[in-house]
Structure 1
Amino acid sequence: MNPADADRRFTAIYYEHHPQVYAYAVSRAGRSLADDVAGETFLIAWRKFDEVPATPLPWLLGVARNVVRRRYDAEVRQTALAAELRTWAQPAHRDVADGVTEKAAMLAALARLGEDDRELLTLVAWHGLTAREAARVVGCSTAAYAVRLHRARKRLQQALAPSSRPTRPRPAAITLTSKEYSR
């Protein structure tokens, strides 16, 4: 491929897939680090342009995943993502539509899951990948991904269950004995 064609193809890939790579970076590392992760992902794509497949999104997300894992330790990523999800999951006002309340409950439940479960769930639901493409991103077979996704969905259902939601502490009941009551 001549340099002009390579430039055009890379530019097309960048403009078509940057929003998805950025969204993936936000979901994995938080907004504060997403620009760095997306930028480094496309830098690697440029350097390894001959390795970019015809369907580049799963490959790009796999690169972004490796960038996140390499640059940021698990604690920093977890802290940034948890803070972002807490911001999104602020309690809805009573006059807001039920859909917003459901979204807040879903985001709060996602925040209670482990990082790997969140990734498995969001690759398909938020990033629009097929199970096969998502399996390539996380580096496993499609069958293994399906099993992991099934288990992650069960844990999400448990996190959404009313008994797993944090509740406000109730004030202790005050009971008076007959002696105290008569005073």
Structure 2
Amino acid sequence: MEQDVTPATRFRRLYAANFEPLLAYATRRVEQPEDAADVVAETFLVAWRRAAELPPDDEVRLWLYGVARRVLANHHRGGARRDRLGERLRQRLRVTSSPDPGTEVPERLAVQQALARLGDLDREVLTLTIWEGLEPREAAVVLKLTPEAVRTRLTRARARLRTALGHDVGPSGHVLDVMTARPQKEGR
């Protein structure tokens, strides 16, 4: 190295002489051209930070290729991690994604209107057991009734709700999703 060359001047020369070859090297080893530019930028960042440790001019190009190789390895590992994370997220979204709530609006409105036509106690028994998820014995505590009375009222309230919705009453039975979906034909 010349005695009167500053580290900044040496770096500029190093950059000018090696940018294109390093970019070509990186471009052949990545999928996206933008990634190659990132690899080269990271390589020169390492060179800038380690300017005091750079090898002599006749060895610096090989040193830069070695740095670029390690940067590429990190890039590929990071890409593999991103791909694995992306796949896990896609799987989780498939499992947890719910259907478009807009498709349920007409049914929800019909249920709400039918509930509004029921008596207060029928509506309360249904909403406590269906929407709040309480067992009849738990709803009995809330309503200050016996569990048997709640079960009887629940059966009658379901039948009244089905009638209010315009569905055939059919034989009585236990349907948990009467509030969230169209009632199915029930059998004994």
Alignment TM-score, normalising by the size of structure 2 = 0.34
Larger Rg: 1 or 2?
A: 2
Alignment TM-score, normalising by the size of structure 1 = 0.35
Structure with more contact order per residue of length (Cα contacts < 8 Å, sep ≥ 6) = 1
